[in-house]
Amino acid sequence: MKKILVLVVCSSIILSCATAQSAGKKKANNQSAQVQSKMSKKTNGNIKDYEKVITKDAISDSGLFDVHIVGEKYYFEIPMEHLNTDMLLVSRFAKLPSNLGGGYVNAGTKTNTRMINWERFKNKILIKEKSSSAVAADSLPIHVSVKSNNYEPTLYAFDIAAFSKDSSAVVIDVTSFYSSDVKSISGLSSRLRSSYKVKNLDKSRSFINSVKSFPENIEVIQDFTYNAAEPPVNTGDETISVQMNQSMILLPKTPMQPRLYDERVGWFTTSKYDYSSEELKSDEKTYLRRWKLVPKDIAAYNRGELVEPVKPIVYYLDPATPMKFRSYMKEGIELWQKAFEAAGFKNAIIAKDPPTKEEDPDFSPEDIRYSVVRYVASTTRNATGPSVSDPRSGEIIESDIIWYHNHLRSYRNRYLLETGAANPLARSLNTPKEEIGEMMKMVIAHEVGHTLGLPHNMSASYAYDVESYRDGDFTQKNGIAATIMDYARYNYIAQPGDENIRFIRQLGPYDAYAINYGYRYIDGAKSAEDEIETLKGWVNEKAGNPIYKFGARGSHDPTAQTEDIGNNSIKASTYGLKNLKIVAKNLTSWTSDKTDNYEDLEELYGELLSVWSRYVGHVVTHIGGVEEVTKNPSQDGDVFSPVSKTYQKSALQWLQENAFETPTWLIDKSILQNINYAGYTDRIRGLQARHLNNILSFERLGRLIDHNALDSKNYSALELLTDVRAGIWSEAKLGANVSVYRRNLQRVYLDAMFDLMTDELDPKRSRQYFNVNQSDIRALVRGELNVIKRMLTSASKRNIDTETKYHYQDAIERINTILDPK
């Protein structure tokens, strides 16, 4: 009992001392501020007494800064404790005219995000933009150099108008800052100003709409009208009016402990150069962008129990969201709860309806305190998932998912085209509500994934065998990709008669794996470096398993393609084209026969051609393809491996048969003559040209030259050119007539060869630059053209129709011009 009493007494003494120290420190700070205040008044007569600036008529709002409205003027009363404190200044559109900036600029779109400090310099308060891209411990001498060589710009300077009565805060007039055309927080970029020929801000039609202060943020709404010669909506008034929302939020005093990035796990990141390193260079440190999740009960969490986070991730629906879609959106958000359970959390992410005015009168989708699924009245067919993060640590502060109203039409169309052959529910323009809802849930889930920190993982669909997509049990359990973050939307492989098939994507095992990597709380780790071995262990455990592979999209890697599914593009695209031929035959009966007009038929036929082109493109990527598997040196195998020669030759043969031999099934007279009066042949030419030009590209030929130089068993550029020539010019060898579609394709080939003979790679634009003129390419092309010239000279003497004869004569002249431009 005596021991307890002694402890209580000691604790009381310590607490009293701490309280006294704190009070003494606060008193010292106030005294210092008072001294500065008196000195300032002596040196600058513009600083007035508080009561003369913030009069009795002021309308005040307390919060992060006290905000005062006095007549037409707006004042910030900034506590001294918030000077030199890190904050984020986020600018976004609240309202804007239609078509401003194209289809992806809308209400809620961020235009600027800056980390700032409010700093005092003599009798001014400055807004300084801060950077965390270069850092060094302030205890080290090099810290001085880092600051000197990364001097931060001043966004705005304010005269001090007054000090608070107790001198604990400084008062500034922010009216001019928020009512002027300050470029750093403007919604109109230099590109938009140039496009719309913006002359100036019309101050007579521009004003501050409102200023609200909350405990950790301030929200300002501006109404700006610009004079513009060519506005996006030209009604003759040469005007652009926008409403901007400026959010300023206090960042955590102590940044969240960051987590280091491992490129084997896909993640959005933030990077900085650390000059504190003992190495002979600055260390580039890359951290994950993620929400801060800490278990409420760490002991229970460490025992393996599912525990709620101290602060869950909360998404609100936009008040503009149609009622019929709200349940699907909320379900799509909360689908991620299961993935977070893999990281030890329950109820980690929650979806809520927008609060009513009674529940929260201050609720606004632009308010940076709220993460919102924005519902945008726009004809754009897409959805996006941006976020705002603390650049010091990568902590995500807020995010707004953007859902565009017309997006579901794209999903309906692709559902019909890609699955209609095997899926009776898709054979209609009026897709069942449950199917539309399932699509919406998965689109929202995909965008939520982005806001959690996950980028696209285009390798995830390559983890599953093509034949598995025809297995009902497999697809119901595994969906169509190992992650929702792949661009793999529908099962286009399943064939008519396959049963119990899941056609729509869903979350997969990679999602749980990635969330665990980014969000599992590692108790006892005091720094990012303390976590390294644990994180490596998680990744190494899954290494080599394709389900857990991350692959960013790369034009060279056939295992990381967009919109493809399955581990064999030739087989998958063969199945896809079989289904598409069935859809093409039924397209009229599923559309115009039902609607009694041709609008949907025309739209869907155009998209059907795009689907055909995608399936073909998936096979093209294997030509000169390089499979990329990100590895650490301790892992076996190479990072980059050329696609086998056998597969490349098979891919080219498939392309000759399915893409370059005229796809006559796409040329349906009953469709074409009801949607357009001309352009049929050129439309097919354009589709084929895209893929032939892609094959005959500098980058692809350059890769083949490199691969063959390393190993003569690899497919060579000469073999590719020889094989392409044999297919494209097969009629000349057989003595057959050439159709108009094939004549067009052969001219595409000659134009491509001309480009290879005359163009150069732009080192600023090419991701795979090499000196074309000093490579083998010109010699190989010259040789091929001479072979074709001899072949056509011989073929033109055969018994062929006049159009083919003229075509050969013209082709020979074109070749002569390429070989000898003079």
Q: How far apart, in Å, are the Cα atoms of 724 and each of 205, 619, 808?
A: 64, 15, 18
- Which pTM was predicted? 0.89
Query: 599-620 and 680-695 helices cross at what angle (nearest 10)?
Result: 20
Q: What is the pLDDT of residue 281?
A: 67
Domain boundary among 206, 222, 250: 250
* Domain count across the chain: 3
In sign, the C-alpha dihedral spanning 414, 417, 418, 419 is positive
- Picking from 77, 117, 115, 364, the residue whose alpha carbon sits closest to that of residue 245 is 364
Compute the chain's Rg from CA coordinates: 32
Q: What is the pLDDT of residue 45?
A: 58
DSSP category for residue 551: -
Whether residue 452 contacts residue 517, with contact meaning beta carbons closer than 8 Å, is answered with no
Whether residue 672 contacts residue 584, with contact meaning beta carbons closer than 8 Å, is answered with no
Domain boundary among 250, 267, 300: 250
Co-location of 93 and 18 in the same domain: no
Co-location of 17 and 54 in the same domain: no
Q: How many Å apart are CA 134 and CA 149, to the nearest integer?
A: 9
Q: What is the pLDDT of residue 383?
A: 82
Token representation of residue 551: 């692959």
Q: What is the pLDDT of residue 524?
A: 93
Co-location of 37 and 121 in the same domain: no
Which H or E element spans position 686?
A: helix 680-695
Co-location of 31 and 56 in the same domain: no
* 3-state SS assignment for residue 68: strand
pLDDT digits (tens, 9 = 90+) for 648-697: 999 999 999 999 999 999 999 999 999 998 999 999 999 999 999 999 99
pLDDT digits (tens, 9 = 90+) for 509-556: 999 999 999 999 999 999 999 999 999 999 999 999 999 999 987 789
* 3-state SS assignment for residue 789: helix
Decide if 481 is inside a domain. no
Co-location of 122 and 215 in the same domain: yes
- Residue 737's CB is within 10 A of a number of other CB atoms, namely 17
Q: What is the pLDDT of residue 782?
A: 97
Q: What is the pLDDT of residue 601?
A: 96
**DSSP secondary structure string for all residues of 294-331:** -BS-HHHHHTT--B-BSS-EEEEEPTTS-HHHHHHHHH
The β-bridge partners of 572 are none
Decide if 508 is inside a domain. no
Decide if 678 is inside a domain. no
Decide if 267 is inside a domain. no
- SS (HEC) of 390-458: CCCCCEEEEEEEEEECCHHHHHHHHHHHHHCCCCHHHCCCCCCHHHHHHHHHHHHHHHHHHHHCCCCCC
Q: What is the pLDDT of residue 552?
A: 80
Burial class (CB in 10 A: 0-12, 13-18, 19+), 526: exposed
Whether residue 600 contacts residue 417, with contact meaning beta carbons closer than 8 Å, is answered with no
Q: How many Å apart are CA 754 and CA 749, to the nearest integer?
A: 9
Co-location of 11 and 86 in the same domain: no
Domain boundary among 250, 267, 288: 250
Co-location of 143 and 32 in the same domain: no
Decide if 511 is inside a domain. no
Q: How many Å apart are CA 532 and CA 259, to the nearest integer?
A: 9
Q: Tokens 């899926």 — which residue?
A: 423
Q: What is the pLDDT of residue 12?
A: 41
Q: Tokens 């599992």 — which residue?
A: 520
Co-location of 82 and 145 in the same domain: yes
Co-location of 30 and 93 in the same domain: no
Decide if 731 is inside a domain. yes
Q: Which domain holds residue 59?
A: 50-250
Using 70 as the pLDDT threshold, list the residues of the chain that sit under it. Answer: 1-45, 280-281
pLDDT digits (tens, 9 = 90+) for 443-458: 999 999 999 999 999 9
Q: What is the pLDDT of residue 44?
A: 55
Query: 433-452 and 407-419 helices cross at what angle (nearest 10)?
Result: 110
Q: What is the pLDDT of residue 265?
A: 96
Decide if 492 is inside a domain. no
Q: What is the pLDDT of residue 757?
A: 96
Token representation of residue 143: 């810290």
Co-location of 128 and 210 in the same domain: yes
Co-location of 129 and 202 in the same domain: yes
- Phi first, then psi: give them for residue 306, nearest 5 degrees: -75, 130
Decide if 617 is inside a domain. no
Q: How many Å apart are CA 506 and CA 480, to the nearest integer?
A: 7
Co-location of 74 and 170 in the same domain: yes
- Picking from 619, 615, 616, 493, the residue whose alpha carbon sits closest to that of residue 558 is 619
Side chain identity at residue 235, one-letter code: T
Task: Collect all residues with Cβ–Cβ distance below 8 Å to 291 and sequence separation of at least 6.
Answer: 313, 395, 396, 452, 453, 519
